Structure 1
Amino acid sequence: MSDGLKEGFVKLLRANNIANNVLNFEDVQFVSEGRVSDDQIIREGDILICASSGSLEHVGKAALCMPDMEYTFGAFCKLIRPIGKLYPEYIAGYMRTDEYRNTISDLAQGSNINNLRNEHINDLMIPIPSDEQQGDFIDLQRQSDKSKFALQEAIKDLDALSKKIIAENLIPAGKE
């Protein structure tokens, strides 16, 4: 096994590993293989969801899992394994919408801990477009993500250039 994982253990993703609709692999925990069933191993196309948190804004955050991974998920998460007519990327994209966020906010409110129960997820009313429409939605989402990434990189480059120009044109104090 790679990544420093000792034989007999599986990497464990938790809610903190879901950020900005994608998985990050920082601060991954480990659990004994004997405590993880085959159904709890994350597969390509699964969607990992934060199901419990003291912060309502974290409940319902989700990320599409690609490709098959040697990971499982923690107790405060749930896993959706799509079957049927809806594409996993479409479902994950829907989970980025304001409509989804508003629904989750209404369902998950608790006195101290906000929870999504299985019936909340099972009862979600996700629009069912045609295969072609789902494909168009996924293509648009991918292009949007690429554009956002390119803009973020351009901002970083501009920030670095701005700092460089300022540093080159500053006159040290007392040398005027």
Structure 2
Amino acid sequence: MNTSAVARLLNVSHSTIQRWVSQLNMEVERNQLGHYQFSEEDIALLRKIQNQLNEGIILQKVSISESKLKKAIVRKHPETTKEHEQLMERVIRLENGLKTKADDVVSYQLLQHRSEMEEMHKLVEKLEARIEALETPTVLPFDYFLAAEEAAATKKTKKKPFMKMIFGNGRKNDPTSLSTADSD
């Protein structure tokens, strides 16, 4: 079966099949044009991969049988020396060190995120308490006697109209108005 037929069978895209084969280093036969030709065993293996991915396992952690993995061919040259072997051992140690360092970084980031989330949770609890305090009605006792005293203390004064205040009552025969006019 070709890639498209297998993709239809598994209900995924053909690029997904190609990605699984390349990232998992699967050994799959190719035709004259270089296209994958999947056997029944290959299809069964792809179904197992799909099931593992559906269970939540990431592609790098998917386990497949060793017989279908591409084997790296290591050719030793006659000029391979002890220095080359030491370099290879050092490269392997460095790669392992990088893996552990990456794990440490991720663990540190997770701890940082957890502490930030705990701080945010405490802040949310404080805000909830403040909102609840603001939403609960506070009834102050009303002092009726105090209100009555204040009402009695405020005396209403009758205001004079503005024009009368400036020009007076406006009576011409008023002796008080004449006396003020005579004094001028």
Question: What is the TM-score normalised by the length of structure 1?
Answer: 0.34
Give the helix-richer structure, 1 or 2: 2
Question: What is the TM-score normalised by the length of structure 2?
Answer: 0.33
Which of 1 and 2 has higher RCO (CA within 8 Å, sep 6+)? 1
